[in-house]
Amino acid sequence: MFINSFNYFRGIAIVFIVAAHCYEISGWWINTFPEKVFCALITGGTALFVFISGFLFHHVFYKKFNYKNFIAKKFKNVYSPYLILSSVPLVLYVFVWRSGPFGEYFFNLHGNFYLEYIRPFFLYLWTGGTLTAYWYITFIMVVFLASPVFVKFIQLPRSIQVFGILATLAVAMVIHRPVFNFSVFQSVFYYLPVYLFGIFSSMNRNFIYTRLAGKEIHLFIPILILAIAQVAFFNNWGNFHKPPFVITVPDINIVQKMIMCIFFMVVLQRLENRHVYLLNETASASFAIFFIHPIVLEILLRRHFVAPTKTLGILSWAITVCCLTGVSYIIARIFKRLLGDKSRLFIGW
C-alpha cells in the first residue's frame, strides 16, 4: 500500500506551506515581475496537501472503509494535536490577554460573559484562528466527516466523476478562498475539486504514470503560464480571498496547483525506488512540522524578528524557509523521543 513517491510528495507539500509563511519574516521585498511569478508558483501549497489527502483516501481507506474507525483515527491523529496545541494560545487570547489575532472579529469586550469569553473561545476553535495555518484542520475534519460522499463518488462512472470535478472547480474559481480563511464551509467548497481530483488520480494513477512519463516539461509549461497570467492580468501573486458571493476575477491559482499535483506525481515517480534521506525525513515529520512551525513563527513575529539576511532578497527567504523547517523538525523529533508512541496525539507524528 505504501507509495514512496507520495511520501516524498508530502515532504515537498509541507515545504511549500512553510515557504509561503516566510515572506514577511524573511524581510524579502517582492517587487519584480519574476519574483511575483515565483511567489505565485509557491503560494497555495495547501492544495498539494488536499490532493494528497484525497489520493490516500482512495488508495489506503476505500477498500476496507469503515466510517466509525476512519473518523476515530482522524480525530486521534489530526484533531487531537490541533486541540492540544491550540489550547495554550486559546487560553492566553481569550482569558488572559483578551485579545489575539483578528481580535476585532472575535471579541466584544463590552458585552456579557458570552460575548466576551464563550463566543471568541468557540470562534477561535471553529475557525482555527489561533495560529497560522490551523484553519486547515477544522476544514479537513469537515471533509473527513463527509467521506461517505466520496465513497459514492468513487463508485460513479468515470464520465460523471470528470463532470463533478470540473463543476466543482468552476465553483471554486468563482467563490475563491474565504477572507482570512475563517469560513470553514467556503474552504470545503473551494478545495472540493482538489480532493476529488486526488481521488480520481489515485483511481487512474497507472494511466497517469504511463501516459505522462517523461513529459514533465509539458506539464510545467501550463503551470508557468498560469502563474504569469495571474501576476500579469490579475496583479496577484498570492492566494485569492474574498466573500463567496462577491463576483470578481476567476481564481486560476487553484487550476495551476491541480496541474502541479500531477507534475509532482510524475516527477517523483522517478524516485519511487530510491531513498532520499532529506525528503524522507521531512515527509515523515510533515504533519508535526505543520503543527509546530506556526508556533515558532508566532514567537518570532511577536519579537518583531526579521531575518538579518534581508538584504539578500530571495536568498533571505530561502534561508528562512530552511531554518523554520529545520527548527520545527528538530522540535518535533525531540517531542517524538520524549513522548514515544503518544507523540502522535500531541504533534501528529
Name the residue ranges covered by the structural domains of the chain.
4-347
Residue type, 211: R
Give the Å distances, CA to CA, from 291 to 82, 99, 109, 128, 284: 7, 22, 30, 12, 13
CB 252 within 8 A of CB 229: yes
User: Count of H helices and E strands in the chain?
Assistant: 20, 0
Tell me what pLDDT residue 304 has.
66
pTM: 0.96
| Residue spans of the chain under pLDDT 50 | none
Rounded distance between C-alpha atoms, residue 201 and residue 52, angstroms: 10
- Per-residue 3-state assignment (H helix, E strand, C coil) for 280-321: HHHHHCHHHHHHHHHHHHHHHHHCCCCCCCHHHCHHHHHHHH
| Averaged pLDDT score across all residues of the chain | 95
Tell me what pLDDT residue 108 has.
85
Tell me what pLDDT residue 179 has.
96
Q: What is the dihedral of CA 134, 138, 144, 146, to 10 degrees?
A: -150
Tell me what pLDDT residue 307 has.
66
Tell me what pLDDT residue 187 has.
98
Instruction: Give me the helix-helix angle, 314-339 and 277-284, nearest 10°.
Output: 60
